[in-house]
Homo-oligomer: A and B are copies of this chain.
Amino acid sequence: MRYEAVTIRDIAQALGLSTSTVSRALRDSHEISTETKRRVLEHARSINYQPNPIAVSLRERKSRSIGIIVSEIANRFFSEIINGVESVAIDRGYNVIIAQSLESAERELRQIQFLTSRSIDGLLVSVSNETEDTSLFKELHQKGLPIVFFDRVVQDIDTHKVIVDNTLGAFDATVHLIRKGYRRIALVTNVEGLSITKEREAGYRAAMHKHGIPVDDALIRHTRPGGQAEPEAAAIMSSLMGQEDRPDAIFATSDRLTTGCLRYLKKHNIQIPDEMALIGFSNSEITELLDPPLSIVRQPAFEMGTTAIQMLLELIESKRPVTQFRTQVLAAEHVFRQSTQSRDTERVKLR
């Protein structure tokens, strides 16, 4: 099953030139006469010449492709990021190789090794929730592989990063709940070690403090490393509902956790927001169609993707080693809907 290839040599022979001349002509070198260039270009397109990227990669020692690893592409948040990454990568002539860890540290390792063995020029990373050992990333970074972290970053590796303002995002969401009259606000959040978890928890705590509400640690729940979000969310909800002093609101900090909580509440016929308010991080486009329409914290995923790839290309295409790194922080958006209406007056008004 071969797929015939027309090479630079074919052009050279057809025109009685050497391969080096043809190569230079195609790259518009100044040491080739305009007449020769014209002939080469013309003949090249007449036989539909396509340079062999593999040969170029071998020679140039770079592949013009970058890798991106996320926890799962079926998650709208990540697929939007990928869209952002792709949109600029394509324009810059880079190929994007997508990999997913599915929240498994082992799979993450394998995928990273796979990507790097494919000689990618750079790597975009959002770590899995199970990742503890970051030595591979450190090693790659030290060896000079350009890496940009996004969303879930690893703190102690000094490179470009792009995140959303998780602290403020969580702060504002919590304040919103407080203003709506909720007091016992449960935080259903990710694995404890994750950067995003810490930041969002910090925002939550700050909001509670600011409004003089004591933080009840029994209301702060993390998922377990490697666990799947939906069942984890259900287990946490079940535990929360089982305790004597139930929460009156839930703040879930990821897409899957949010839908997991919602599914639990509906399954157990717990009225939202009358018995329990719900707000969560989500990038789903149909949260307004849910029952009830969901209040959400939305992350600018596409933009996160474009800035991450831009930073990466900056590293890749830099002539000399970059030593000054920056962390770009994007703002989260909030959409408040019925799932966090206060129980009394306001909801009536809305109908």
Contact = CB atoms under 8 A, between A and B. Distances in A.
B118 A53 contact: yes
A1 B315 contact: yes
A69 interface: no
Interface in A262-304: 262-263, 266, 284-286, 288-293
Contact of A74 (B65, B83, B143, B315): B83
Contact of A1 (B5, B63, B97, B316): B316
B3 A144 contact: yes
A143 B61 contact: no
A117 interface: yes
Contact of A289 (B1, B83, B98, B262): B262
A111 to B, nearest CB: 8
A96 B73 CA distance: 13
Contacts of A146: 1
Given A53-B118, A95-B114, A291-B290, A74 B80 contact: yes
B95 A97 contact: yes
A54 interface: yes
B90 A83 contact: no
A63 B54 CA distance: 8
Interface residues of A, number: 59
A145 interface: yes
A55 B114 CA distance: 16
Contacts of A99: 86
A251 B259 CA distance: 26
A53 to B, nearest CB: 5
Contacts of A118: 53, 65, 95
B95 A98 contact: no
A287 to B, nearest CB: 9
Contacts of A263: 286, 288-289
Contacts of A315: 1
A79 B73 contact: yes
Nearest to A1: B144
A73 B83 contact: yes
Contacts of A5: 61
Interface of A: 1-5, 50-55, 57-58, 61, 63, 65, 72-74, 76, 79-80, 82-83, 86, 90, 95-100, 110, 114, 116-119, 143-146, 259, 262-263, 266, 284-286, 288-293, 315-316, 318, 321
Given A53-B119, A90-B114, A95-B97, 13 more contacts: A1-B318, A3-B145, A4-B143, A5-B61, A53-B118, A73-B79, A74-B76, A74-B80, A90-B110, A96-B98, A286-B286, A286-B290, A290-B291
